[in-house]
């Protein structure tokens, strides 16, 4: 059963703690993305990776970090430097190298920081 | 600068009636346009895309969208709404020749009443 998995579905943390969100895909996609979704706003790109061991900052990368050591995995760390980390986080992947491609999304992780 | 506008925060339609969810865009060159749907607390699902060719694009679940270059619009339509179509709908655009980033609209909540 192919797809993208994100874990956990809900995550609670205390302010000042770093937290890592998991994203795994078995679609054999080269490109992976992390988005943040807040109520009433469109998706905002945090980081994206077009290939293993390479990634680029999106529009709101401050306070976040990523790694891409394996093709299947693209974990996101929300650091204590992120001023407003409570949000719904979505991971996506797509075929790379094509001119146009749709993105496939995981189910999301809702992070609450208090 | 690239941008996408979804002018309606919410659209209410009676079951069985036709529905339209509006999207307008602004890019310098040729646009690649996408529609996605999101059910509560879930990831986004791809519905359809316009790359080139026929202005009327057919997608999943009976949805279609019409590309109108002169009006820079890409409205989502369905001839007969179902209660199960109730969800959050996102329009996104990428300019031909740009990088992998999509520019997302803020979303339109579609409510289908029995």
% of chain B exceeding 70 in pLDDT: 98
Are the beta carbons of A42 and B105 separated by less than 8 Å? yes
CATH of the domain at B60: 2.60.40.10
Q: Write the DSSP string, A28-67.
A: --SEEEEEEE-TTS--EEEEEEEETTEEEE-TT-TTEEE-
Q: Are strands A109-113 and A10-13 parallel, antiparallel or unpaired?
A: parallel
- Range of the structural domain that residue B47 is part of: 3-113
Which pLDDT score, from 0 to 100, does residue A101 have?
79
The alpha carbon of residue A48 is apart from the nearest alpha carbon of chain B, in Å, by 9
Which pLDDT score, from 0 to 100, does residue B1 have?
76
> If interface means Cβ-Cβ distance under 8 Å, which residues of chain B face chain A?
4, 9, 32, 34, 36, 41-46, 49, 51, 90, 92, 94, 96, 100-102, 104-107
Q: Which of B42, B49, B106 is closest, CB to CB, to A108? A: B42
Which residues does A101 contact at the CB level (< 8 Å), separation at least 6?
A: A31, A94, A95
Q: How confident is the model at residue B95 (pLDDT cuts 50, 70, 90)?
A: confident
> Which candidate in A41, A100, A108, A110 is best for mutational testing of the B interface (most B CBs within 10 A)?
A100
Q: Domains in chain B: how many in total?
A: 1
Look at residues A27, A14, A39 and name the one whose alpha carbon lies nearest to residue A102.
A27
Look at residues B63, B91, B67 and name the one whose alpha carbon lies nearest to residue B79.
B63
């Amino acid at each position: 059963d192919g797809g993208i998995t994100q874990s956990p579905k809900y995550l609670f943390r205390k302010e000042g703690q770093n937290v890592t969100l998991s994203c795994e895909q078995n679609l054999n996609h080269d490109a992976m993305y992390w988005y943040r979704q807040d109520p009433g706003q469109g998706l905002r790109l945090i980081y994206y990776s077009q290939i293993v061991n390479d990634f680029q900052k999106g529009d709101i990368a401050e306070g976040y970090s990523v790694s891409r050591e394996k093709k299947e995995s693209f974990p996101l760390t929300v650091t204590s430097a992120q001023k407003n980390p409570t949000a719904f986080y979505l991971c996506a992947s797509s075929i790379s190298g094509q001119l146009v491609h749709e993105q496939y999304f995981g189910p999301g992780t809702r992070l609450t920081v208090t | 600068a690239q941008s996408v506008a979804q002018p309606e925060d919410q659209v209410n339609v009676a079951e069985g009636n036709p529905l339209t969810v509006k999207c307008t865009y602004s890019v310098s060159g040729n646009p690649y346009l996408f529609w996605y749907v999101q059910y509560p607390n879930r990831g986004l699902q791809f519905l359809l895309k316009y790359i080139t060719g026929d202005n009327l694009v057919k997608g999943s679940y009976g949805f279609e969208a019409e590309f109108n270059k002169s009006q820079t619009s890409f409205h989502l339509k369905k001839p007969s709404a179902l209660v199960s179509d109730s969800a959050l709908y996102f329009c996104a655009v990428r300019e031909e020749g740009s990088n992998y980033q999509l520019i997302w609209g803020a979303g339109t909540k579609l409510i289908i009443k029995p």
